[in-house]
């Protein structure tokens, strides 16, 4: 038995079969190249007979990607096997992966064949594939719902016919870790020649057990795990590659075995898949989710700042993420807040930190997450104080279905009264364009949002804007019962902060 676990990646085959994850040939090649960098052992590039496009994709991967074995999936039909070989034969390390169902459920309702007929199909298919390549994998589809005695006969026949890898799939995510362990052990004890082949496992996540089932199978003697990046795949998905790799690496004390994977390529691979498919990973996804190395709770942040191992069993750097994230929100404590202030370049006295922290907590009760611009706004408003270079004197806006939106603005700049008017696509746009023209700002509006801070039809609204100039972004806020006035006040508030930071560069991060 080999002393490492082979990683068989089926992102391009089983993963692509999940709704929304279809990829063209070029996209498949990009993923395959990244899988090469990840150092997976086997890339299952597709199901060649499924379509001309799939055939061309498998062929392109086989011709282009050097290093990993390139596998093509095939049913036990002669045409399937021949088509798979036509696609993978260009690889320096080709593999034919043939399969047929072995559960009575599939035999009766899908295949409409007897056990004897399926057994003959297995032998014929493996022998035909063996004439093409020595590297032949056989899968007993729905193995975990098959009669164990019949499964033993099928596996025996596949090995005698020449299969070098035997896959025992949990096709519908039905089994449990204890059952799966016992099944793998039974096969190892009852099948002649089983020690001369690789036992593989392919689990689905219908009950959320795919990773635990696969890891249990490794403990029972399996030495290949079939998985996908981000766990994509049919229905609830497949075993997630990143979970298997990092479980084996992190808990080597339990498994005593590792993989050939370049772990620092895990996150880049995950990100590439999301970029190509446009389907994001849920934030709480293990290993690669946005929150996997993010901490908001004050107790956790304090612990991580003192020693990462307190709340991180692996480092973000180990999977290719530059660092962990301390998310500032209502659960954050003073320790994390002080660290963020230092990172932003602020050196404040203890009483100033306390004033800023209380304002931060008040704002955190209103917002889910506090950003650096929010903290800088708090420092400017509550601690340092921002001189008003610009102040709004009056604002009149004309707008309607038949009128061109026009804003007439009076403001003071360093005490000098200025007056101008301008047009825009709407009342707020007209106001902002007029003010920008008056003060000569080169800033760019990044964000504009409105929120009611009192109830009823006469509610007071709060406008928040984010402006950016020369790589520096600031947040401005303004409140008024007239939302156009609130918008103007927020914009001017942000302009004042930009002017202040130009004068006080030592107070913010360059």
Question: Mean pLDDT highest for which of 9-13, 317-321, 411-415, 506-510?
Answer: 9-13
Q: How many CB atoms lie within 10 A of CB 160?
A: 13
- Answer whether residue 444 shows pLDDT above 80: yes
The rounded distance, in Å, linking the Cα atoms of 153 and 55 is 32
Q: Model-level pTM? A: 0.70
283, 342, 303: which is closest to 507 by C-alpha? 342
Euclidean distance between the first and the last CA atom of the chain, given in angstroms as a whole number: 56
| pLDDT tens track for 226-248 | 999 999 999 999 999 999 999 99
User: Vertex 463, ends 352 and 502: CA angle to 5°?
Assistant: 50
Cα(115)–Cα(357) distance, integer angstroms? 71
pLDDT tens-digit map of 86-97: 999 999 999 999
Half-sphere exposure of 416 (CA within 13 A, CB side): 5
For 117, residues 6+ apart whose C-beta sits below 8 A from its C-beta are none
Which range has the worst mean pLDDT, 80-84, 187-191, 486-490? 486-490
Instruction: Give the strand order in the sheet containing 406-413.
Output: 390-398, 406-413, 416-423
Mean pLDDT, residues 277-296 taken together: 80
Residue 48's Cβ-count burial label (10 Å; 0-12, 13-18, 19+) is buried
Which structure tokens are listed for 423?
Answer: 């047009």
Candidates 416, 438, 414; CA nearest to 488 is 438
pLDDT level of residue 181 (50, 70, 90 thresholds): very high
Could you tell me if 98 and 126 are in contact, meaning their C-beta atoms sit under 8 angstroms apart?
A: yes
Percentage of the chain modeled with pLDDT above 90: 62
Band of pLDDT at residue 509, cut at 50, 70 and 90: very low
Query: What per-residue confidence (pLDDT) applies to 320?
Result: 86
Whether the per-residue pLDDT at 29 is higher than 90: the answer is yes
Q: For 125-179, give the DSSP string.
A: HHHHHHHH-S-EEEEEETGGGS-HHHHHHHHHHHHHHT-SEEEEEETTS---HHH
How far apart (Å, rounded) are the C-alpha atoms in residues 178 and 108?
A: 27
Phi then psi for residue 119, to 5 deg, are -60, -40
Q: What's 107's DSSP letter? A: I
**pLDDT tens figures, 390-402:** 999 999 999 888 8
Report pLDDT for 310.
Answer: 75
What is the spatial distance between Cα 246 and Cα 64, in angstroms, rounded to a whole number? 28
Q: Can you say whether residue 221 is alpha, beta or left, with left for phi > 0 and alpha for psi between -120 and 50 degrees?
A: left
> In angstroms, rounded to a whole number, what is the distance separating the alpha carbons of residues 4 and 13?
24
Question: Domains in the chain, please, with CATH?
Answer: 6-277 (3.20.20.70), 294-384 (no CATH), 390-507 (3.30.160.270)
Greatest mean pLDDT range, 153-157, 286-290, 335-339, 423-427: 153-157
Taking 60 as the threshold, does the pLDDT of residue 137 lie above it?
yes
- Return the higher-pLDDT residue of 352 and 427: 427
Q: 425 — alpha (psi -120 to 50), left (phi > 0) or beta? A: alpha
Q: Which residue has the tokens 């306390």?
A: 354
- Asked if 411 and 391 touch (Cβ cutoff 8 Å), the reply is yes
Residue carrying structure tokens 């006035």: 485
- Nearest-angstrom CA–CA distance, 142 and 155: 13
- Select the highest-mean-pLDDT range: 136-150, 360-374, 470-484: 136-150
Query: Is there a contact between 155 and 191 (Cβ–Cβ < 8 Å)?
Result: yes
Helices (H), 280-370: 298-306, 334-343, 350-364
For residue 184, which of 226, 206, 155 has the smallest C-alpha distance? Answer: 155
For the cut 60, the answer to whether the pLDDT of residue 47 exceeds it is yes
Contact between 135 and 164 under an 8 Å Cβ cutoff? The reply is yes
User: Is the pLDDT assigned to residue 457 strictly greater than 70?
Assistant: no
Region 112-123: what's the mean pLDDT?
A: 98
Angle between helices 298-306 and 334-343 (to 10 degrees): 60
Q: How far apart are the C-alpha atoms of 46 and 43, rounded to whole Å?
A: 9
Range 157-185 average pLDDT? 98
């Amino acid at each position: 038995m080999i002393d490492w676990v082979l990683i068989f990646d089926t992102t391009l085959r089983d993963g692509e079969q999940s709704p929304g994850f279809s990829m063209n040939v070029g996209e498949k090649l990009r993923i395959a190249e990244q899988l090469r960098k990840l150092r997976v052992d086997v890339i299952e590039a597709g199901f060649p007979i499924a379509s001309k496009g799939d055939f061309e994709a498998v062929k392109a991967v086989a011709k282009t990607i050097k290093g990993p074995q390139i596998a093509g999936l095939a049913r036990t039909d002669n045409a399937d096997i021949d088509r798979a070989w036509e696609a993978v034969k260009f690889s320096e390390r080709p593999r034919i992966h043939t399969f047929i169902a072995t559960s009575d459920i599939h035999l009766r309702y899908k295949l409409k064949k007897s056990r004897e007929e399926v057994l003959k199909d297995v032998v014929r298919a493996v022998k035909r594939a063996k004439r093409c390549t020595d590297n032949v994998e056989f899968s007993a589809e729905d193995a975990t719902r098959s009669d164990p005695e019949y499964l033993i006969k099928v596996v025996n026949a596949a090995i005698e016919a020449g299969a070098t890898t035997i896959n025992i799939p949990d096709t519908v995510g039905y089994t449990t870790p204890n059952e799966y362990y016992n099944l793998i052990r039974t096969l190892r004890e009852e099948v002649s020649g089983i020690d001369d082949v690789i036992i593989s496992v392919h689990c689905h996540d219908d009950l959320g057990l795919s990773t635990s089932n696969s890891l249990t199978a490794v403990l029972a003697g399996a030495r290949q795990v079939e998985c996908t990046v981000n766990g994509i795949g049919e229905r609830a998905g497949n075993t997630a590659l990143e979970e298997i790799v990092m479980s084996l690496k992190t808990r080597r004390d339990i498994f005593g075995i590792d993989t050939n994977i370049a772990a620092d390529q895990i996150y880049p691979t995950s990100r590439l898949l999301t970029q190509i498919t446009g389907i994001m990973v849920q934030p709480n996804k293990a290993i690669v989710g946005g929150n996997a190395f993010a901490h908001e709770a004050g107790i956790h942040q304090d612990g991580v700042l003192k020693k990462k191992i307190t709340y991180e069993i692996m480092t973000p750097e180990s999977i290719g993420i530059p660092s962990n994230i301390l998310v500032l929100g209502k659960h954050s404590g003073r320790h994390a807040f002080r660290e963020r202030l230092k990172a932003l370049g602020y050196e404040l006295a203890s009483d100033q930190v306390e004033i800023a922290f209380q304002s931060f907590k008040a704002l955190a009760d209103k917002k889910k997450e506090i950003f650096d611009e929010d903290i800088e706004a708090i420092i400017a408003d509550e601690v340092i104080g921002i001189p008003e270079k610009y102040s709004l004197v009056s604002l009149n806006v004309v707008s309607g279905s038949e009128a061109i939106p026009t804003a007439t603005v009076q403001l003071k700049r360093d005490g000098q009264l200025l007056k101008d008017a301008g047009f825009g696509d709407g009342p707020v746009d007209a106001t902002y364009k007029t003010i920008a023209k008056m003060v000569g700002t080169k800033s760019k509006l990044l964000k504009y949002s409105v929120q009611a801070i009192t109830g009823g039809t006469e509610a007071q609204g709060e406008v928040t804007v984010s402006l950016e100039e020369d790589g520096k972004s600031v947040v401005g806020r303004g409140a008024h019962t007239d939302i156009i006035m609130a918008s103007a006040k927020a914009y001017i508030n942000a302009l004042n902060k930009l002017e202040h930071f130009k004068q006080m560069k030592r107070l913010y991060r360059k």
